[in-house]
Amino acid sequence: MKQEIRVPEIAEGVTAGTVVSIAVAVGDEVEAEQTLLELETDKAVVEIPSPAGGRVSAIRAEEGHEVEVGAVIMVLETADEKQAKDKPEAEEPEAEEPEAEEPEAEEPEAEEPEAEEPEAEEAEAEEAEAEEPEAGAAEAGAAEIDLTGVRRDNRVAPAAPSVRRLARELGVDIYQVQGSGAGGRISADDIRGYVRDTMQRVTGGGLPVSEFPGLHAQRPLPDFSRFGETSREPLSRVRELTADAMSYAWSTIPLVTQYDKADIGKLEAFRRAFNDDAEPEARLTVTALLVKVCAAALRAFPHFNSALDLARRELVLHQFINIGVAVDTPAGLLVPVLREADHKGIERIAVELNELATRSRERRIKPAELEGGTFTISNLGGIGGSAFTPIVYAPQVAILGVSGSEQQPLWNGSAFEARLMLPLCLSYDHRAIDGAAGARFLRWICQALENPLQLVMKG
């Protein structure tokens, strides 16, 4: 029998993905669980396996194109249908069972035209819509002329004429609407959703359900060709998601950043001594030590391990501690999440963290491993710099930034002596956390790094 293979629900909130590569061709024999294609979605590349063994009879997806969850990507001819085709004619007269089964075997053939009818009707409707009377076309053209100031390279928005007309009637700049259809095509629902979310932000009616379309909310670009030659490259999926998330955070979170330094001379001596005898996968990093320290700090300061729900006027206090760690990869910034960090020892944290970072750089990280974080650490110490201002990743309320450690003179009461100082910067959502609480939280982390026994005494 023929079996349609659809895009499965990969993770919560994921509605679509981009086809990175197709591993099979029409006519190929495949086995159950064999990879059919790779799909990039939510900062991860996932493999879509075959649900059964059989022969690929059709491929309805293309590399580089976006497909939605539930969309048919391939058609598989399973073993049952192949056996029915190869069955000898001599067996047909036997008993009444073949006669009873014949209508069932013919049903898929009868259903196929019925399933195609809506698609044909939709195609005819789109053609009829595109072939509007000249008066209507003139009206649409006149209105589009008014939008030339916000066009990009004179490209028309990917939307049907009726959708563009709806945008004009509602006073919506269609070039700021993010389409949910294939290839970013904009629908009437996208227009209405944009209006609804905009009104929620303007009137303070709670946070919008969908993320702020930061990637599209910008002023029109000037004509750069007047100044010299330029080139363009498409945004990667990772960069697109990062732009959207950062724009949303920057436009909604009143950000405060606290700065402090920790004397990590003794801790660094211990780390180096431990690594001399440690296995490569268990080598301690400053980030691994910080994960353990921050997990303990979040237990001591539960408001930093929360989410703000303005719609209900509540602060959601998490009873679990999942710490995300920013990883620099060739594809962009990924943030795998170390779950239940407060219940793990430092050595186990180091092993898991090294493994997550490796799979992130190789794009083998799973979507579920990028979800559920309650606090984030961004360590730029390996690159350099003395301080920076990390942006809180909503719906989290705080993030810790780490810069490069360096020897600095420190007054001990009678003289200056060289100490290895680690600069830390804590950014937090001022709606959920006060400045005094932010200073205490960061000082607690510094003291724990300077005197790790504090974790045992207060654990």
Contact 33/47 with Cβ under 8 angstroms?
no
Task: State the Cα–Cα distance between residues 121 and 126, nearest whole angstrom.
Answer: 9
- Identify whether 65 is a catalytic site residue: no
* Numbers of helices and strands, H then E, in the chain: 11, 19
Identify the DSSP state of 227.
T
Using alpha carbons, select from 310, 309, 367 the residue that is nearest to residue 334.
367
49 touches 66 (CB < 8 A): no
Pick the closest to residue 197 from 189, 188, 184, 207 (CA basis): 207
- The total number of residues written for the chain in this structure: 459
Q: Which of 308, 307, 305 is nearest to 322 (CA)?
A: 305
Tokens 């990772």 — which residue?
238
357 CB contacts (<8 Å, ≥6 apart)?
325, 327, 336
- For residue 159, what are the contacts with CB-CB under 8 A and spacing of at least 6? 167, 174, 179, 185, 186, 187
Which residues form the catalytic set?
A: 430
